Amino acid sequence: MVGVRPPTRTRLAPEQRRTQLLDLGVRLLATRSLDELSIDVLAEEAGISRGLLYHYFGGKHAFHEAVVRHAADDLIAQTAPPEGGEPLERLLASVTAYVEYVVANHAGYQSLVKAAASGNDVLREIYEEARSALTGRIFTEDPWGDLIPDTPVNRLLVRGWSAMVEELVLAWVADPAGVPRERLLELAAGSLPALVESAGPGL
Amino acid sequence: MVGVRPPTRTRLAPEQRRTQLLDLGVRLLATRSLDELSIDVLAEEAGISRGLLYHYFGGKHAFHEAVVRHAADDLIAQTAPPEGGEPLERLLASVTAYVEYVVANHAGYQSLVKAAASGNDVLREIYEEARSALTGRIFTEDPWGDLIPDTPVNRLLVRGWSAMVEELVLAWVADPAGVPRERLLELAAGSLPALVESAGPGL
DNA sequence: CATTCTATTGACGTTTGTTCAATAGTGGCA
DNA sequence: TGCCACTATTGAACAAACGTCAATAGAATG
């Protein structure tokens, strides 16, 4: 006597359905990798059929790309650019916003970071753009022009610094281990001036 | 009139075949991701049948794991621990060996880095072990005990620093852009003392 | 209430990972 | 030299997952 419930298909507006799938994708791809996530599982989790996913995104990889782009946009949007003020304060404010975002929303951030290393050039570019958007906010707007001249070495340094901050925050979120949040912020923000200074006046 | 050449199967000693497949895997997985690498392609590239890969490694993921472990062992082995001497000199020597390895062998290194972010816990652990092996060499052996006390903050810092060095080297290899190799080495090695100092005396 | 529009489905074809019994080099031994 | 045992290697058959498309069913509009 199996209850044969008529398959109630729920019909949504394309926009809603799209964001529903995107949000779900961000959450699922935070822990599993793409090939560990079967369409069947995703579809069942979302309460839809496999076909619908293809209707909206055209394929598995295209879906992944959309998910990553979604996460990147979210990151950029939620870490608002700091107001005017002292360079050091703006840096601290920016880093604080970044840390706050990663702490509150690190499922999405993990999705983004993982995608960057997954071989696909498109995904990597999305990640690069997001990072550029964050670092660019601080440095393209002049006030650091004196402190951090635009040289090849400093470009390299800033790139390395952002990788370090990412690692610091992710490691700290995974295990705060007696390091208060304030201290983390000091480390992240204070390290950039220290690095630039240690690099010396060179080229 | 297709020449039906009898399929000459080449028979190797298990050890040779194993390393052949591993080396090939390292090279192929440096650019493609795992699910972009079909067994068919791998088999044809190696001149073997699909079945043989399963005989040696038991599966696609197991093969990936073996490849990553191969690359990690290679990295650890080839970046020999620096001899005795001044802490700063040992650090520089260690970083130099690391940079040298990445430059000469960055296919293998890319395989390793990519694997780390690919979701699988086993792969990530292999990567973590490799990194610990490199950083641990310098700091577990005492002489830095005075300069870099073993505190939670400094552990975090060293972790972040290694992520930065990795990013610096990979970015530099991809595009040296007017930064001489010597300068890169200075940046990588010199940044650690600068970071530790900037972190202040705190806990 | 009928009709049109379209979000959604489910069955089908195709590709790709996996298994396993059969095959063929190779080295040892008479 | 020639047979034999051992095992590296294969290829076909199986399973699972990706991708396609015509048919179906909500919902709004008149």
Give B81's DSSP letter.
Answer: P
Cross-chain residue pair B167–A184, CB shorter than 8 Å: no
CA end-to-end distance (rounded Å), chain B = 80
Instruction: Please state, in angstroms and rounded to a whole number, the distance separating the CA atoms of residues A189 and B160.
Output: 13
Instruction: Please state, in angstroms and rounded to a whole number, the distance separating the CA atoms of residues A179 and B158.
Output: 14
Q: Is the CB of B14 under 7 A from strand D?
A: yes
Site of tokens 């202040």 = B200
In chain A, which residues fall in CATH 1.10.10.60?
14-66
Strand C bases within 7 angstroms of protein beta carbons: 6-11, 16-21, 24-26
A-chain CB neighbours of B34 within 8 Å are 35
Q: How confident is the model at residue A161 (pLDDT cuts 50, 70, 90)?
A: very high
Q: How confident is the model at residue A2 (pLDDT cuts 50, 70, 90)?
A: very low
Report whether B161 contacts B192 (CB < 8 A). yes
Q: Distance, angstroms, CA B107 to C1' D15?
A: 34
Which stretches within A30-180 are classed as H helix? 39-46, 50-57, 60-78, 87-104, 106-116, 121-139, 152-174
- Residue type at position B29: L
Instruction: Please state, in angstroms and rounded to a whole number, the distance separating the CA atoms of residues B158 and B139.
Output: 10
Report whether B64 contacts B115 (CB < 8 A). yes
Q: Which two tokens stand for residue B84?
A: 């005795």
Provide the 3-class DSSP secondary structure of residue A145. coil
Q: Which nucleotide is nearest to B54 (CA to C1')?
A: C18
Q: Which residue is closest to A60 within chain B, CA to CA?
A: B35
pLDDT along chain B (203 residues), means of 10: 58 97 97 94 97 98 97 92 77 92 93 87 94 78 65 93 97 94 96 92 61
Fold for the domain defined by B14-63: Arc Repressor Mutant, subunit A (1.10.10)
- The average confidence (pLDDT) of chain A is 89
Q: Which nucleotide is nearest to B46 (CA to C1')?
A: D9
Q: Please state which architecture CATH assigns to domain A67-198.
A: Orthogonal Bundle (1.10)
Instruction: Please state, in angstroms and rounded to a whole number, the distance separating the CA atoms of residues B130 and B113.
Output: 11
CATH of A14-66, one of 3.40.50.620, 3.40.1280.10, 1.10.10.60, 3.40.50.360: 1.10.10.60
Instruction: Please state, in angstroms and rounded to a whole number, the distance separating the CA atoms of residues B76 and B70.
Output: 10
Point out the least confidently predicted range of A15-19, A151-155, B17-21. A151-155
Among partner residues A34, A162, A168, which is closest to B35 by beta-carbon distance?
Answer: A34
Q: Distance, angstroms, CA B48 to C1' D14?
A: 21
Among partner residues A34, A162, A194, which is closest to B194 by beta-carbon distance?
Answer: A194
Mean pLDDT of the region A5-31: 91
Give which of A35, A38, A91 to mutate to test B binding, by max B Cβ within 10 Å: A35
Query: pLDDT digit string (tens) for A26-70?
Result: 999 999 999 999 999 999 999 999 999 999 999 999 999 999 999
Q: How confident is the model at residue A146 (pLDDT cuts 50, 70, 90)?
A: low
